[in-house]
Protein backbone atom coordinates (compact mmCIF):
# COMPACT_ATOMS: atom_id res chain seq x y z
CA UNK A 1 0.00 0.00 0.00
CA UNK A 2 2.82 2.38 0.87
CA UNK A 3 4.45 1.75 -2.54
CA UNK A 4 1.20 2.60 -4.30
CA UNK A 5 0.87 5.83 -2.32
CA UNK A 6 4.44 6.76 -3.12
CA UNK A 7 4.28 5.78 -6.80
CA UNK A 8 2.73 9.06 -8.13
CA UNK A 9 5.71 10.99 -6.74
CA UNK A 10 8.43 8.78 -8.26
CA UNK A 11 9.85 9.65 -11.71
CA UNK A 12 10.36 5.96 -12.55
CA UNK A 13 6.57 5.48 -12.53
CA UNK A 14 6.17 7.88 -15.44
CA UNK A 15 9.25 6.64 -17.31
CA UNK A 16 7.78 3.12 -17.20
CA UNK A 17 4.45 4.53 -18.33
CA UNK A 18 6.24 6.11 -21.28
CA UNK A 19 7.86 2.74 -22.04
CA UNK A 20 4.37 1.19 -22.10
CA UNK A 21 3.02 3.95 -24.35
CA UNK A 22 5.68 3.73 -27.08
CA UNK A 23 4.20 0.54 -28.61
CA UNK A 24 0.71 1.99 -28.01
CA UNK A 25 1.54 4.75 -30.48
CA UNK A 26 2.61 2.17 -33.06
CA UNK A 27 -0.57 0.20 -32.44
CA UNK A 28 -2.66 3.35 -32.80
CA UNK A 29 -1.02 4.16 -36.13
CA UNK A 30 -1.58 0.61 -37.32
CA UNK A 31 -5.23 0.61 -36.21
CA UNK A 32 -5.71 3.84 -38.13
CA UNK A 33 -4.33 2.15 -41.25
CA UNK A 34 -5.82 -1.34 -40.78
CA UNK A 35 -8.56 -1.32 -38.15
CA UNK A 36 -9.69 -4.80 -39.22
CA UNK A 37 -6.43 -6.48 -38.18
CA UNK A 38 -5.39 -5.27 -34.70
CA UNK A 39 -3.31 -8.45 -34.17
CA UNK A 40 -1.03 -7.86 -37.17
CA UNK A 41 1.70 -5.93 -35.27
CA UNK A 42 2.34 -9.06 -33.20
CA UNK A 43 3.48 -10.79 -36.40
CA UNK A 44 5.25 -7.79 -37.90
CA UNK A 45 7.75 -7.54 -35.01
CA UNK A 46 8.83 -11.20 -35.35
CA UNK A 47 11.58 -10.72 -37.98
CA UNK A 48 12.98 -7.67 -36.16
CA UNK A 49 13.80 -9.85 -33.16
CA UNK A 50 16.26 -11.81 -35.31
CA UNK A 51 18.39 -8.71 -35.93
CA UNK A 52 21.35 -8.55 -33.49
CA UNK A 53 21.05 -4.81 -32.92
CA UNK A 54 17.39 -5.09 -31.85
CA UNK A 55 18.42 -6.54 -28.51
CA UNK A 56 20.87 -3.68 -28.05
CA UNK A 57 18.19 -1.08 -28.84
CA UNK A 58 15.61 -2.71 -26.58
CA UNK A 59 18.16 -3.07 -23.79
CA UNK A 60 19.13 0.60 -23.94
CA UNK A 61 15.48 1.67 -23.94
CA UNK A 62 14.66 -0.65 -21.04
CA UNK A 63 17.63 0.58 -19.01
CA UNK A 64 16.72 4.21 -19.66
CA UNK A 65 12.98 3.94 -18.91
CA UNK A 66 12.44 0.83 -16.77
CA UNK A 67 15.53 0.80 -14.56
CA UNK A 68 16.96 4.34 -14.76
CA UNK A 69 18.66 4.06 -11.36
CA UNK A 70 20.66 1.02 -12.49
CA UNK A 71 21.64 2.44 -15.87
CA UNK A 72 25.38 2.39 -16.51
CA UNK A 73 26.19 0.61 -13.24
CA UNK A 74 27.77 -2.79 -12.72
CA UNK A 75 24.60 -3.90 -10.91
CA UNK A 76 22.43 -3.42 -14.00
CA UNK A 77 20.30 -6.51 -14.69
CA UNK A 78 19.53 -5.57 -18.31
CA UNK A 79 22.08 -6.19 -21.05
CA UNK A 80 22.92 -3.66 -23.75
CA UNK A 81 24.82 -6.02 -26.04
CA UNK A 82 23.72 -7.22 -29.49
CA UNK A 83 22.46 -10.76 -29.87
CA UNK A 84 25.42 -13.09 -30.19
CA UNK A 85 23.61 -16.43 -30.11
CA UNK A 86 20.31 -17.82 -31.31
CA UNK A 87 19.13 -18.09 -27.71
CA UNK A 88 19.52 -14.30 -27.44
CA UNK A 89 17.49 -13.82 -30.64
CA UNK A 90 14.65 -16.06 -29.46
CA UNK A 91 14.53 -14.25 -26.14
CA UNK A 92 14.41 -10.94 -28.00
CA UNK A 93 11.49 -12.15 -30.12
CA UNK A 94 9.61 -13.32 -27.02
CA UNK A 95 10.32 -9.96 -25.37
CA UNK A 96 8.94 -8.02 -28.37
CA UNK A 97 5.77 -10.13 -28.39
CA UNK A 98 5.18 -9.71 -24.66
CA UNK A 99 5.91 -6.00 -24.87
CA UNK A 100 3.36 -5.53 -27.64
CA UNK A 101 0.75 -7.54 -25.72
CA UNK A 102 1.31 -5.60 -22.49
CA UNK A 103 1.18 -2.34 -24.46
CA UNK A 104 -2.17 -3.40 -25.90
CA UNK A 105 -3.44 -4.05 -22.38
CA UNK A 106 -2.08 -0.71 -21.16
CA UNK A 107 -3.71 1.15 -24.05
CA UNK A 108 -7.26 0.71 -22.71
CA UNK A 109 -6.82 2.22 -19.22
CA UNK A 110 -4.49 4.89 -20.63
CA UNK A 111 -7.17 6.10 -23.05
CA UNK A 112 -10.49 5.27 -21.37
CA UNK A 113 -9.90 6.10 -17.71
CA UNK A 114 -8.90 9.78 -18.28
CA UNK A 115 -11.97 10.13 -20.56
CA UNK A 116 -14.19 8.75 -17.80
CA UNK A 117 -12.71 11.27 -15.36
CA UNK A 118 -13.54 14.11 -17.75
CA UNK A 119 -17.11 12.82 -18.12
CA UNK A 120 -17.52 12.60 -14.33
CA UNK A 121 -16.29 16.18 -13.96
CA UNK A 122 -18.80 17.28 -16.62
CA UNK A 123 -21.57 15.45 -14.74
CA UNK A 124 -20.52 17.14 -11.50
CA UNK A 125 -20.81 20.51 -13.25
CA UNK A 126 -24.32 19.67 -14.41
CA UNK A 127 -23.65 18.86 -18.07
CA UNK A 128 -25.58 16.03 -19.64
CA UNK A 129 -23.50 13.10 -20.91
CA UNK A 130 -22.97 12.74 -24.64
CA UNK A 131 -24.55 9.92 -26.57
CA UNK A 132 -21.18 8.16 -26.99
CA UNK A 133 -20.12 8.60 -23.38
CA UNK A 134 -18.15 5.81 -21.71
CA UNK A 135 -20.13 6.09 -18.48
CA UNK A 136 -22.85 3.43 -18.44
CA UNK A 137 -25.22 5.76 -16.58
CA UNK A 138 -25.53 9.41 -15.62
CA UNK A 139 -24.65 9.66 -11.90
CA UNK A 140 -26.06 12.39 -9.61
CA UNK A 141 -23.89 15.46 -9.21
CA UNK A 142 -22.80 14.56 -5.68
CA UNK A 143 -21.87 11.03 -6.79
CA UNK A 144 -19.96 12.39 -9.79
CA UNK A 145 -17.93 14.61 -7.44
CA UNK A 146 -17.01 11.59 -5.29
CA UNK A 147 -16.30 9.27 -8.25
CA UNK A 148 -14.25 11.71 -10.34
CA UNK A 149 -10.85 10.72 -8.79
CA UNK A 150 -11.55 6.97 -8.98
CA UNK A 151 -10.58 6.46 -12.67
CA UNK A 152 -7.29 8.31 -12.11
CA UNK A 153 -6.54 6.14 -9.09
CA UNK A 154 -7.29 3.03 -11.15
CA UNK A 155 -5.09 4.40 -13.93
CA UNK A 156 -2.19 4.89 -11.54
CA UNK A 157 -2.72 1.38 -10.16
CA UNK A 158 -2.65 -0.10 -13.67
CA UNK A 159 0.46 1.88 -14.59
CA UNK A 160 2.33 0.75 -11.46
CA UNK A 161 1.38 -2.91 -11.79
CA UNK A 162 2.02 -3.10 -15.53
CA UNK A 163 5.28 -1.22 -15.07
CA UNK A 164 6.44 -3.68 -12.42
CA UNK A 165 5.44 -6.59 -14.62
CA UNK A 166 7.18 -5.35 -17.79
CA UNK A 167 10.31 -4.53 -15.77
CA UNK A 168 10.44 -8.07 -14.35
CA UNK A 169 9.98 -9.50 -17.86
CA UNK A 170 12.75 -7.24 -19.22
CA UNK A 171 15.17 -8.39 -16.54
CA UNK A 172 14.38 -11.99 -17.41
CA UNK A 173 14.46 -11.80 -21.21
CA UNK A 174 16.89 -8.91 -21.77
CA UNK A 175 19.19 -9.81 -18.90
CA UNK A 176 22.76 -10.98 -19.53
CA UNK A 177 23.09 -14.52 -20.83
CA UNK A 178 25.27 -17.10 -19.09
CA UNK A 179 28.11 -16.41 -21.54
CA UNK A 180 27.87 -12.66 -20.95
CA UNK A 181 27.88 -13.16 -17.17
CA UNK A 182 30.97 -15.34 -17.46
CA UNK A 183 32.71 -12.75 -19.64
CA UNK A 184 31.87 -9.99 -17.16
CA UNK A 185 33.12 -12.13 -14.28
CA UNK A 186 36.39 -12.83 -16.08
CA UNK A 187 36.85 -9.12 -16.82
CA UNK A 188 36.17 -8.26 -13.17
CA UNK A 189 38.64 -10.92 -12.03
CA UNK A 190 41.31 -9.57 -14.38
CA UNK A 191 40.69 -6.07 -13.05
CA UNK A 192 41.07 -7.20 -9.44
CA UNK A 193 44.25 -9.14 -10.27
CA UNK A 194 45.68 -6.09 -12.00
CA UNK A 195 44.90 -3.91 -8.97
CA UNK A 196 46.55 -6.45 -6.70
CA UNK A 197 49.63 -6.52 -8.90
CA UNK A 198 49.82 -2.72 -8.92
CA UNK A 199 49.46 -2.65 -5.13
CA UNK A 200 52.37 -5.09 -4.82
CA UNK A 201 54.44 -2.99 -7.21
CA UNK A 202 53.86 0.14 -5.14
CA UNK A 203 54.51 -1.69 -1.88
CA UNK A 204 57.80 -3.17 -3.07
CA UNK A 205 59.16 -0.15 -4.92
CA UNK A 206 58.09 2.70 -2.65
CA UNK A 207 58.61 0.63 0.49
CA UNK A 208 62.17 -0.16 -0.55
CA UNK A 209 62.92 3.48 -1.37
CA UNK A 210 61.54 4.77 1.93
CA UNK A 211 63.36 2.09 3.92
CA UNK A 212 66.70 2.91 2.28
CA UNK A 213 66.11 6.65 2.80
CA UNK A 214 65.28 6.18 6.50
CA UNK A 215 68.29 3.93 7.14
CA UNK A 216 70.64 6.22 5.24
CA UNK A 217 69.38 9.36 6.96
CA UNK A 218 69.68 7.76 10.39
CA UNK A 219 73.20 6.49 9.68
CA UNK A 220 74.31 9.88 8.34
CA UNK A 221 72.94 11.69 11.38
CA UNK A 222 74.64 9.25 13.76
CA UNK A 223 77.98 9.24 11.93
CA UNK A 224 78.51 13.00 11.87
CA UNK A 225 80.93 12.55 8.97
CA UNK A 226 80.45 14.98 6.02
CA UNK A 227 81.90 12.47 3.54
CA UNK A 228 79.60 9.70 4.75
CA UNK A 229 76.67 12.12 4.68
CA UNK A 230 77.40 12.96 1.03
CA UNK A 231 77.42 9.26 0.13
CA UNK A 232 74.18 8.72 2.03
CA UNK A 233 72.47 11.62 0.27
CA UNK A 234 73.66 10.29 -3.09
CA UNK A 235 72.20 6.85 -2.30
CA UNK A 236 68.91 8.42 -1.18
CA UNK A 237 68.77 10.45 -4.40
CA UNK A 238 69.40 7.41 -6.60
CA UNK A 239 66.87 5.24 -4.78
CA UNK A 240 64.29 8.02 -4.79
CA UNK A 241 64.72 8.57 -8.52
CA UNK A 242 64.18 4.88 -9.21
CA UNK A 243 61.07 4.91 -7.01
CA UNK A 244 59.70 7.91 -8.88
CA UNK A 245 60.14 6.05 -12.19
CA UNK A 246 58.20 3.09 -10.80
CA UNK A 247 55.52 5.38 -9.41
CA UNK A 248 55.14 7.17 -12.76
CA UNK A 249 54.81 3.84 -14.58
CA UNK A 250 52.12 2.60 -12.17
CA UNK A 251 50.19 5.86 -12.38
CA UNK A 252 50.24 5.68 -16.17
CA UNK A 253 48.65 2.23 -15.95
CA UNK A 254 46.02 3.46 -13.48
CA UNK A 255 45.12 6.39 -15.71
CA UNK A 256 44.98 4.08 -18.76
CA UNK A 257 47.08 6.58 -20.62
CA UNK A 258 47.97 5.99 -24.24
CA UNK A 259 51.62 6.58 -23.40
CA UNK A 260 53.80 3.50 -23.13
CA UNK A 261 55.05 3.12 -19.54
CA UNK A 262 58.72 2.53 -18.85
CA UNK A 263 59.82 -1.10 -18.73
CA UNK A 264 59.65 -2.87 -15.37
CA UNK A 265 63.10 -3.43 -13.80
CA UNK A 266 64.74 -6.85 -14.22
CA UNK A 267 67.44 -8.87 -12.47
CA UNK A 268 69.92 -7.50 -15.01
CA UNK A 269 69.58 -4.28 -12.98
CA UNK A 270 70.07 -6.02 -9.62
CA UNK A 271 73.24 -3.98 -9.03
CA UNK A 272 71.02 -0.99 -8.27
CA UNK A 273 69.42 -2.83 -5.33
CA UNK A 274 72.70 -4.27 -4.12
CA UNK A 275 74.43 -0.88 -4.21
CA UNK A 276 71.57 0.66 -2.23
CA UNK A 277 71.99 -2.02 0.44
CA UNK A 278 75.76 -1.45 0.53
CA UNK A 279 75.28 2.31 0.75
CA UNK A 280 73.02 1.73 3.76
CA UNK A 281 75.92 0.04 5.57
CA UNK A 282 75.24 -3.62 4.82
CA UNK A 283 78.06 -5.88 3.73
CA UNK A 284 76.58 -7.67 0.72
CA UNK A 285 78.11 -10.96 -0.44
CA UNK A 286 76.82 -11.57 -3.96
CA UNK A 287 77.16 -14.55 -6.26
CA UNK A 288 75.50 -14.41 -9.68
CA UNK A 289 75.64 -17.41 -11.99
CA UNK A 290 74.06 -17.89 -15.36
CA UNK A 291 72.82 -15.54 -18.09
CA UNK A 292 70.46 -13.26 -16.17
CA UNK A 293 69.95 -11.04 -19.20
CA UNK A 294 68.39 -13.96 -21.14
CA UNK A 295 65.72 -14.79 -18.58
CA UNK A 296 62.06 -14.59 -19.70
CA UNK A 297 60.45 -11.23 -18.94
CA UNK A 298 57.97 -12.36 -16.24
CA UNK A 299 60.64 -14.40 -14.39
CA UNK A 300 63.30 -11.70 -14.32
CA UNK A 301 60.77 -8.98 -13.41
CA UNK A 302 59.20 -10.91 -10.55
CA UNK A 303 62.66 -12.07 -9.42
CA UNK A 304 63.76 -8.44 -9.19
CA UNK A 305 60.76 -7.60 -6.99
CA UNK A 306 61.39 -10.61 -4.73
CA UNK A 307 65.02 -9.56 -4.29
CA UNK A 308 63.95 -5.98 -3.65
CA UNK A 309 61.44 -7.00 -0.97
CA UNK A 310 63.96 -9.33 0.67
CA UNK A 311 66.62 -6.58 0.93
CA UNK A 312 64.00 -4.10 2.12
CA UNK A 313 62.98 -6.44 4.94
CA UNK A 314 66.62 -6.85 5.97
CA UNK A 315 67.12 -3.09 6.27
CA UNK A 316 63.73 -2.50 7.88
CA UNK A 317 63.92 -5.18 10.57
CA UNK A 318 67.64 -5.79 11.09
CA UNK A 319 69.39 -2.65 9.96
CA UNK A 320 72.77 -2.65 8.17
CA UNK A 321 73.72 -6.29 8.77
CA UNK A 322 75.72 -8.63 6.50
CA UNK A 323 73.62 -10.08 3.69
CA UNK A 324 74.37 -13.03 1.43
CA UNK A 325 72.72 -13.05 -2.00
CA UNK A 326 72.81 -16.03 -4.33
CA UNK A 327 71.16 -15.87 -7.78
CA UNK A 328 71.59 -18.73 -10.19
CA UNK A 329 70.08 -19.71 -13.52
CA UNK A 330 69.74 -23.43 -14.10
CA UNK A 331 68.40 -25.22 -17.17
CA UNK A 332 64.80 -25.16 -16.02
CA UNK A 333 64.54 -22.64 -13.17
CA UNK A 334 65.83 -19.51 -11.47
CA UNK A 335 67.11 -19.91 -7.91
CA UNK A 336 67.22 -16.84 -5.68
CA UNK A 337 68.34 -16.86 -2.05
CA UNK A 338 68.87 -14.00 0.42
CA UNK A 339 70.25 -14.79 3.88
CA UNK A 340 70.92 -12.47 6.83
CA UNK A 341 71.40 -12.80 10.61
CA UNK A 342 68.26 -13.04 12.69
CA UNK A 343 67.23 -9.81 14.46
CA UNK A 344 67.30 -9.55 18.23
CA UNK A 345 63.50 -9.77 18.24
CA UNK A 346 62.66 -12.51 15.73
CA UNK A 347 58.94 -11.81 15.93
CA UNK A 348 59.54 -8.74 13.79
CA UNK A 349 60.35 -11.09 10.89
CA UNK A 350 57.17 -13.12 11.23
CA UNK A 351 55.80 -14.37 7.92
CA UNK A 352 52.38 -12.77 8.21
CA UNK A 353 53.34 -9.44 6.68
CA UNK A 354 52.10 -8.29 3.30
CA UNK A 355 55.65 -8.15 1.91
CA UNK A 356 56.42 -11.81 2.64
CA UNK A 357 52.98 -12.83 1.41
CA UNK A 358 53.59 -10.81 -1.75
CA UNK A 359 56.82 -12.71 -2.45
CA UNK A 360 55.01 -16.02 -2.14
CA UNK A 361 52.20 -14.78 -4.41
CA UNK A 362 54.66 -13.60 -7.06
CA UNK A 363 56.37 -16.99 -7.12
CA UNK A 364 53.05 -18.87 -7.17
CA UNK A 365 51.80 -16.87 -10.18
CA UNK A 366 54.74 -18.23 -12.18
CA UNK A 367 54.22 -21.81 -10.96
CA UNK A 368 57.11 -21.61 -8.52
CA UNK A 369 57.46 -21.26 -4.79
CA UNK A 370 59.03 -18.92 -2.24
CA UNK A 371 60.01 -19.85 1.30
CA UNK A 372 60.71 -17.39 4.12
CA UNK A 373 61.72 -18.11 7.69
CA UNK A 374 64.59 -19.00 10.06
CA UNK A 375 67.23 -21.35 8.69
CA UNK A 376 70.40 -22.49 10.55
CA UNK A 377 70.49 -19.44 12.81
CA UNK A 378 69.76 -16.97 10.01
CA UNK A 379 66.73 -15.59 8.21
CA UNK A 380 66.41 -16.91 4.69
CA UNK A 381 64.32 -16.00 1.68
CA UNK A 382 64.49 -18.62 -1.06
CA UNK A 383 62.56 -18.55 -4.32
CA UNK A 384 62.48 -21.03 -7.19
CA UNK A 385 60.87 -19.83 -10.41
CA UNK A 386 60.43 -22.29 -13.28
CA UNK A 387 61.45 -21.31 -16.80
CA UNK A 388 59.77 -24.05 -18.84
CA UNK A 389 56.22 -22.65 -18.45
CA UNK A 390 57.33 -19.20 -19.54
CA UNK A 391 59.43 -19.88 -22.60
Q: Is 3 left (phi over 0), alpha (psi -120 to 50) or beta?
A: alpha
CB distance 123 to 135 below 8 Å: yes
pLDDT of residue 142: 85
Write the DSSP string, 185-205.
HHHHHHHHHHHHHHHHHHHHH
Using one digit for the tens of pLDDT, what is the confidence trace for 222-259?
A: 667 777 777 777 777 777 777 776 676 666 656 554 44
pLDDT (mean) for 250-278 = 69
Given a cut of 60, is residue 262 above it in pLDDT?
no
Burial 147-163 (b: 16+ CB within 10 A, else e): bbeebeeebbebbbebb
Sheet harboring 378-386: ordered strands across?
284-289, 323-329, 333-341, 378-386, 369-375
* CA–CA distance, 350 with 369 (Å, rounded to integer): 18
Q: What is the pLDDT of residues 284-314, one digit of tens each?
A: 999 988 888 888 888 888 898 899 888 888 8
What is the spatial distance between Cα 357 and Cα 132, in angstroms, rounded to a whole number? 82
Indicate the DSSP class of residue 9.
Answer: G
Q: What are phi and psi of 179, to 5 degrees?
A: -65, -40
Q: Tell me the C-alpha distance between 264 and 305, whole Å.
A: 10
Query: Which of 158 and 275 is assigned the larger pLDDT?
Result: 158
Q: Is it the case that residue 350 has pLDDT exceeding 50?
A: no
Rounded to whole angstroms, the maximal C-alpha distance in the chain is 111
* Rounded percentage of the chain residues whose pLDDT exceeds 90: 14
Whole-number pLDDT of residue 185: 62
Give the residue from 180, 189, 191, 190 showing the smallest Cα distance to 56. Answer: 180
- pLDDT at residue 260, as a whole number: 43
Rg for the chain, CA atoms, rounded:
36
Q: Judge whether residue 74 has pLDDT over 60.
A: no
Confidence label for 380 from pLDDT (cuts 50, 70 and 90): very high
- pLDDT reported for residue 325: 94
Amino acid sequence: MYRLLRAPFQPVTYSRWLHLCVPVLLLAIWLFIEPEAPWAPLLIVLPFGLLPWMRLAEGLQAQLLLTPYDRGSAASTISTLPSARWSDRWRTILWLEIRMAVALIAMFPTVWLPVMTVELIQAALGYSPASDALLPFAPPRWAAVLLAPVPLILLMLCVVLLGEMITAVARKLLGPSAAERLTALEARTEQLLERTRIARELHDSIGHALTVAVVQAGAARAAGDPEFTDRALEAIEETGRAALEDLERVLLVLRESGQSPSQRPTLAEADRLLNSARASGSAVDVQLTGPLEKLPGPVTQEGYRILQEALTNVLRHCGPVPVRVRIGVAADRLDLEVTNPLPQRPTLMAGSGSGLRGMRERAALLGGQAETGPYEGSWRVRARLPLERIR
